[in-house]
Amino acid sequence: MRGCRWKLAVGAIVATTTLGACGGGTGDAGGGGDSGLLIWAGSGTGGDALKQVAQRFGEENGVPVDVELLPGDELQTNFVTASQGNNAPDVVCGAHDWIGNLVQNGTIDPIQLLPAVREDLQPLAVQAVTYNGQVYGMPFTMNSLVLYRNTDLAPDAPATIEDLVATGQQLQAAGRVTEVLALPVSDTGNAYFMYPLFTSAGGYVFGTAPDGSFDSTDLGLAAPQAVTAYQQIGALGEKGQGVLKRSISAENDLSLFTDGHTAFMVEGPWQLPNLAKSSVPYDISPVPGFADGGPASPFITVDACYVASRGEHRTLGQEYVANFWSRPDVQAAYQKAAEAVPASLTVLDQIRDTQPLVAEAADIAAQSGQIMPSIPEMAAVWDPWGKAEAAVVAGADPRTTITAAATTIRGAIGG
């Protein structure tokens, strides 16, 4: 009979939980014991810096603040589900391209930017968090891809892709490197990293309406430029010059660069702190375009904090996002802790001398970047687009490949 009590105890516990499952739904969130402001952020880069900033808010206002770091790739979905279950945090911080989906689910509220705050922020950062004419988040960092080069191997920044390939192939022939360029392609493709080359060759993702918003009916992959762009990209691929390879992915590009296997790497400024730890001498420059093409425009992504519509402490959340994060001293504190590219112009001026590479990355983004669309339709684009690029790099016919991708995307957006 030893186990009987376990059996019964367990049964009793189940009884109560079953109940919650069956009978819940009318439950009230009440019951006191509020823990103050609750913030969700991604567990990736900058998570700890966000914690420090939140700590400061708590001290200034005398309220407990809790920052919970969730696995970044699930944060958005979890936040939407939690909002649906009336269990949302008060503030969520994440990439600006979530805004479209968060708004269509009614999970975040717009905020009003004071004119002084708006002037302090990089204009593109404000534009990125603006959706349907409303500002939804307070940007704190702004990233776009840059070209890293090993200054021992390649002292001068290449002006064009052709220059880069020539330098890389010389080094390769001399046995000093094994790869011309580390640009993440991977087996299933990565359209984010390929975008500078794609734009230089004339491609675009979505057309823009006169008011600057994205027009989901004008799909760039279906435009004729997309085919010519992919012909140029395919020429750099595995059956062409061998510069772009599916075997290089975001999982190994940094190692290739820091181990000296390649002189060039296309990556984001978030790698700057990682590179500072390596022994490779490096510098950054804009990602070059094709000699006969237009400028190469990487996507700009902005990280921002948003006020949750269904948080328990909305007023505190608004204070945190709209009135606290808008202060340059807070933005500076974050930048210092995360070594991230600042969204605040004041902070950018402050770090020009002390962190020249970060400032340079900010300038590159401001000069050549394009804001990554935040419309929900973008979710339908990434997967087929990346696969099409991987196929082109592998040597598939650009025209049939890109047409198939465009058809798939159209089907997903339409249905």
Partner 1 sequence: MAITGNQAGPQTIAAVGEGPPTEVVRLGTAKGNWFRRVGWSHLVGVLALVFSLFPILFVVSAALNPVGTLSSSQLLPTRMSLDNFGAILSGSFPRWFWNSLLIGVLSAALSMFISACAAFAFSRFRFTGRRAGLLAVLLIQLFPQFLAIVALYLIFADITNLWPAIGLNSIWGLLLLYLGGALGVNTWLMKGFFDTIPKDLDESAKVDGASHAQVFFGIILPLVRPILAVTGLLGFIAAVNEFLIASVFLTDDSVKTAAVGLYGLVADPQTANANFGLFAAGAVILAVPTVALFQFLQRYIVGGLTAGAVKG
Partner 2 sequence: MARSTVDVDTARPTGSPPGGRGRAGLGVGSDGTSSPLGLVLKIAALALLAAVAVWGAVPLVRTQNWIGLAVLVAVTLLGFYVYLSPRTIPLKYLLPGTLFLIAFQILPIVYTVATAFTNFSDGHRGSKEEAIAAIEGASVQQVPGSPVYDLTIAADGDPSTGDLVFLLADPTTDQVFAGTSDGLAPLSAADVQRSDAGRITAAEGYTVLDVAQISDRQDDLTAFTVPTDDGAIRNQGLSSAFDGAPQRAYDAGCDCITDAASGRTWTADDGNGAFVADDGQTLAQGWRVGVGLRNFGAIFTNDVIRSSFLRIVVWNFAFAFLTVLITFGLGLLVALALNNPMLKGKTFYRSLIILPYAMPAVAMYLVWRNMFNTDFGLINRILGTHVNWLGNTASSMVAILLVQLWLGYNYMFLVITGALQSIPKDLTEAAGVDGAKPFYAFRTITFPLLLVALAPLLISSFAFNFNNFNAIYLVTQGGPFSPDNPSAGGTDLLITYTYRLAFGGAGADYGFAAAISVVIFLIVGVISVLAFRRTRALEEVN
Which of partner 2, partner 1, none does residue 134 bind to, with CB < 5 to 8 Å depending on kind?
A: partner 2
The owner of tokens 């990346």 is: 386
Is the Cβ of residue 93 or residue 322 nearer to partner 2 in the bound state? 322
Using CB under 8 A, which residues numbered 260 to 279 contact partner 1? 268, 270, 274, 277-278
Residue whose CB is less far from partner 1, 19 or 114: 19
Give the pair of three-digit tokens for residue 225: 């430029």
- Is the Cβ of residue 343 or residue 388 nearer to partner 2 in the bound state? 388
User: Total binding residues for partner 1 by CB under 8 A?
Assistant: 52
Place of tokens 């990280």: 303
274 is in the binding site of which of partner 1, partner 2, none (Cβ under 5 to 8 A by kind)? Answer: partner 1
Residue 18 three-state SS? helix
400 to 239, 353, 380: CA distances (angstroms)? 17, 50, 19
With CB under 5 to 8 Å by kind, the binding choice for 283 among partner 1, partner 2, none is none
* Contacted entry of partner 1, partner 2, none for residue 359, CB cut-off 5 to 8 Å set by kind: none
Instruction: Give the contact letters, 83-122, x = binds to partner 1 (CB under 8 A), - = no.
Output: -xxxx-----------------------------------
Shortest distance, CB of residue 66 to partner 1, whole angstroms?
A: 7
Handedness of CA 296, 346, 149, 193 (dihedral sign): negative
C-alpha closest to that of 197 among 247, 243, 262? 243
Residue type, 142: M
Segment interacting with partner 1 (CB under 8 A) among 41-49, 131-139, 305-313, 377-385? 41-49
Query: By rule CB under 8 A, what string of x and - marks binding of each residue 217-256 to partner 1?
Result: ---------------------------------xxx-xxx
Residues near 313 by beta carbon (within 8 Å), at least 6 away in sequence: 34, 36, 37, 38, 90
Reduce the secondary structure of 162-226 to three states and give it as a string. HHHHHHHHHHHHCCCCCECCECCCCCCCCHHHHHHHHHHCCCCCEEECCCCCEEEEEEHHHCHHH
Helix, strand or coil for residue 151?
Answer: coil
What's the N-to-C CA distance of the chain in angstroms?
60
Min dist CB 265 to partner 2, Å, is 15
Shortest distance in whole angstroms from residue 55 CB to partner 1: 13
Is residue 325 at the binding interface for partner 1, with CB under 8 A as the rule?
Answer: no
- Assess 281 for contact with partner 1 (CB under 8 A): no
Question: What tokens appear for 298 in the block?
Answer: 């990487």
Q: Which helix (H) or strand (E) holds 369?
A: none
* CB 352, CB 363: distance < 8 Å: no
Find which of partner 2, partner 1, none residue 175 binds, CB within 5 to 8 Å per kind: none
Measured between alpha carbons, how far is 273 from 252 in angstroms, rounded to an integer?
17
Interface with partner 1 (CB under 8 A)? 1-4, 6-7, 10, 13-14, 16-17, 20-21, 24-25, 27-29, 31, 40, 42-45, 66, 68-74, 78, 81-82, 84-87, 250-252, 254-256, 258-259, 268, 270, 274, 277-278
